[in-house]
Structure 1
Amino acid sequence: MSLLVVQHQRTCPPGRFGDWLTDAGVELDVRRPDTGDSLPIDLSGHDGLLVLGGQMGCRDDEVAPWLPAVRQLITTAAKRATPALGICLGHQLAAVALGGEVGRNPGGRTLGVLTVAGTGSLADDPVLAAAAGAPVPQWNDDVVTRLPEGAVALADNERGDLLLARLAPTVWGVQGHPEADLGIVTAWADSDAGAPELADIDVPAALAAVADAQPAVEAAWRPVAEAFARLL
């Protein structure tokens, strides 16, 4: 099973989600277009697609000129019923690629750990059902403000922001960061130190919450990775 993984920057790797997929027998083909790696024009050589997070916005094509190609790969996955999963930026890219909209979160930056508050549809979802009630690290400014036609909202967080969605029959989006362990999130905090968006956020408390949640995150999200792997 070969999974194409689009990693937009060094500090946003597949992390533990990649480890869980590898443990499930998936071969990860990680591409770093930010360092010059090419992206395939289609998914004929892969069994699925994973699009990771990043600091850029989902339409920042001038900053990240590979984004149109990523959006096209997501569209191709949806048309060909190829399993695809987007995490944070990847979720937002999938939403706009399939006809939805993304904007700034009116509640401001979300940082720390929030809980999956599932809808009735989540229990029957073939990939994300295990995440019901689970904690998930959060680090984002943007949110999906309108789902594509036919998409299914699967869960919000306790702030009421869309957290999980089935964006097409074989395309899923996660606004949180199940892949991000304490080391990854700490690197993000160090990179953003002094940013005005963090002025009203207790960053040490957020990092402590990420540390405390790590066992529960693995218990809930490893089965999600395994469920996704079974579709490949």
Structure 2
Amino acid sequence: MRVLVVENYQGTDLGNVGAALAEANAEIDVRKAYLGDRLPKDASEHDALVLFGGGQNALADDSHPYFPELLDLIRDFAHKDRSVLGICLGSQLLARAFGGINQVGGASEFGWHGVTLTEEAKTDAVLSAMPVAFPIFQWHDDTFTLPPSAVRLASSAVAENQAFRLGRAVYAFQFHFEADRAVVDYWTTAFADTVTARWPDWPERLPAEAARNAALADQSGLAIARAWVATIGR
């Protein structure tokens, strides 16, 4: 199993997704596209594609000129029925790739927040074993409309489209299910200036919020990651 991981920002951490891929003995091919790493021309050398988040928006072609090429690559993986996973910015790029409308701003969430699964999620290969509602880490300002033919799988009070599926195994997650407690602690330190500029009380709030939410969020995130990895090659 060979999995292409596209990083769109510094400080990306594979977290729960990396743990699930390691359990499956996957070969991980990381391309730091934001630093100029070349993307494959198509999906022929990989069994799956993972797209991680970033501080930019999904329409930022001027500052990230590889985006159009990445959109073509996403569509090629989907056309070949390869598993695809987009998280945060990755979900917004997936929406764009298949005709959704990106909405910049107006949907800010940070910290652990609850998401609620839809009726369709009850029979979904990745989410059917999850509870109807659970806390998970969020860090985003943007959202999107569902692409045509997409199946909404999860929502929150701030962003109606928290997760969707296209076809068999193309999955988009607005929430950061990859972010276990270790990743959250790392982001809090690595992006301290950005975080405290907007949420100055976060360092003080973190221990209590983690005590309430982190264990269940970590468990949920790893379960989602394992279920998605199980779609690869099917």
Contact preservation (8 Å) 2:20, 2:229: no
Deviation string for 1:38-88 (max 9, x for gaps)? 110111100000000001111101111221121111111221211101000
Equivalence for 1:225: 225
Contact preservation (8 Å) 2:139, 2:176: yes
- Alpha-carbon distance, 1:36 to partner: 2.7
Equivalence for 1:156: 155
Equivalence for 1:186: 188
- Alpha-carbon distance, 1:129 to partner: 2.9
Contact preservation (8 Å) 1:48, 1:84: yes
- Alpha-carbon distance, 1:122 to partner: 0.7
Contact preservation (8 Å) 1:137, 1:210: no
Once the two structures are overlaid, the 10-residue window that deviates more, 126-135 or 76-85, is 126-135
TM-score scaled by structure 1?
Answer: 0.89
Contact preservation (8 Å) 2:178, 2:225: no
- Alpha-carbon distance, 1:194 to partner: 5.7
Once the two structures are overlaid, the 10-residue window that deviates more, 45-54 or 155-164, is 155-164
TM-score scaled by structure 2?
Answer: 0.88
Deviation string for 1:147-200 (max 9, x for gaps)? 1111011110243532111134321110011122222330465141464xx26x
RMSD over aligned CA atoms reads: 2.1
Stretches of 4+ aligned residues off by more than 6 angstroms: none
- Alpha-carbon distance, 1:101 to partner: 0.8
Once the two structures are overlaid, the 10-residue window that deviates more, 152-161 or 172-181, is 152-161
Distance (Å, rounded) in 1 between the aligned partners of 2:37 and 2:211: 33
Contact preservation (8 Å) 1:7, 1:13: no
Query: When the two structures are aligned, how many residues end up with a matched partner?
Result: 227
Deviation string for 1:97-138 (max 9, x for gaps)? 0000111343x5211111220111111111133444222100
In structure 2, the gaps of 5 or more residues are: none
> After superposition, where does 1:122-201 map in structure 2 within 5 Å?
122-132=121-131, 133-144=133-144, 146-180=145-179, 181-187=183-189, 189-193=191-195, 195=197, 198=198
Distance (Å, rounded) in 2 between the aligned partners of 1:13 and 1:7: 9
Could you say what secondary structure the match of 2:102 adopts?
strand
Contact preservation (8 Å) 1:112, 1:206: no
Identity of aligned pairs, percent? Answer: 33
Could you say what secondary structure the match of 1:3 adopts?
strand
- Alpha-carbon distance, 1:212 to partner: 4.3
Could you say what secondary structure the match of 1:192 adopts?
helix
Amino acid at match of 1:16: N
